[in-house]
Amino acid sequence: AAWKQRGGDRILVLPLYPQYSSTTTAAIYDAACFAALGKDRRSGSSAKRFVPELRLAGAFFDHPGYIRAMQTHLTALLQRLPQPPDHFLLSFHGIPQRYADGGDPYPEQCRETARLLAEAMGWTPEQWDIAYQSRFGPETWLGPSTAEQLQRLVDRGVKRPLVFTPGFVTDCLETLYELGIEAKEEFIARCGGTVGDDGFTVAPCLNDQPDWLDVLAEVVRTQTKGWIDD
């Protein structure tokens, strides 16, 4: 309503999901298009006489600036840690396997983000793994799960893992609680008391890191060419 009162006639929709999925990015597209049409469902005619011009920004899972911002962020964090991690786990939000089987590009984009970040950080294949968190319900989800990977690290004798979530640009329930509390407590317990609270590190998301905000601004400028004068 406020946008309409200001006389806006152009909308850029920029979902802050680095990797595309029908469960997230596409859902945002749907909601934005329905709102622009004045509809709350797919069927029926538009409820508006005027529909604003829409642009839908795509995924940025392999954007060089996004990868570079994560590299800078993690490098600075590693310099502040009292001891270096002995393994890195890149945890992404999971989706049901049937979505991926049906053509959702999400897992491929997650793997590419992880590969590019590991390459930028100079990690060897033995130093890092990928996992998918937030699984619920009875059906099969993408794997391996974060819990499964953490158990494997325990079995291998890893004592100081660092977990980072390249699929979340802002800290939230899944990073602060699911990883920062639940996963941490579970890992320490499985290590049988041989790991202290400082042995399990969950790296913060990019949040308001300047490099990341510069990437966002660049994406907006690119997507609004022809709308905003240089």
Reading the chain (230 residues) residue by residue, the pLDDT tens digits are 566 667 678 899 999 999 999 999 999 999 888 887 777 666 666 666 677 889 999 999 999 999 999 999 999 999 999 999 999 999 999 999 999 999 999 999 999 999 999 999 999 999 999 999 999 999 999 999 999 999 999 999 999 999 999 999 999 999 999 999 999 999 999 998 778 778 899 999 999 999 999 999 999 999 999 988 65
Cα–Cα distance list, 188 to 129, 159, 173, 182, 192 (Å) = 19, 9, 20, 10, 7
Return the bridge partners of 54, or none: 11
Helix (H) or strand (E) holding 71: helix 64-80
**What are the sequence ranges of the domains in the chain?**
2-60+212-223, 64-202
Bridge partner residues of 225 (DSSP): 228
Contact predicate 91/131, CB 8 Å: yes
Topology of domain 64-202 in CATH is Rossmann fold (3.40.50)
* Alpha-carbon gap, residue 66 to 18, rounded angstroms: 9
Dihedral, 148, 150, 155, 156 alpha carbons, nearest 10: 120
pLDDT score of 44? 61
Tokens standing for 35? 């709102």
Task: Note the maximum CA span of the chain.
Answer: 67
* pLDDT recorded at residue 105: 98
For residue 43, the model assigns a pLDDT of: 60
At 107, list the tokens: 């897992």
SS3 132: strand
Pair of tokens at residue 144: 């391996």
Tell me, what's the pLDDT at 7? 67
Strands (E), 52-199: 53-56, 87-93, 128-133, 161-164
* Cα–Cα distance, 192 to 199 (Å, whole number): 13
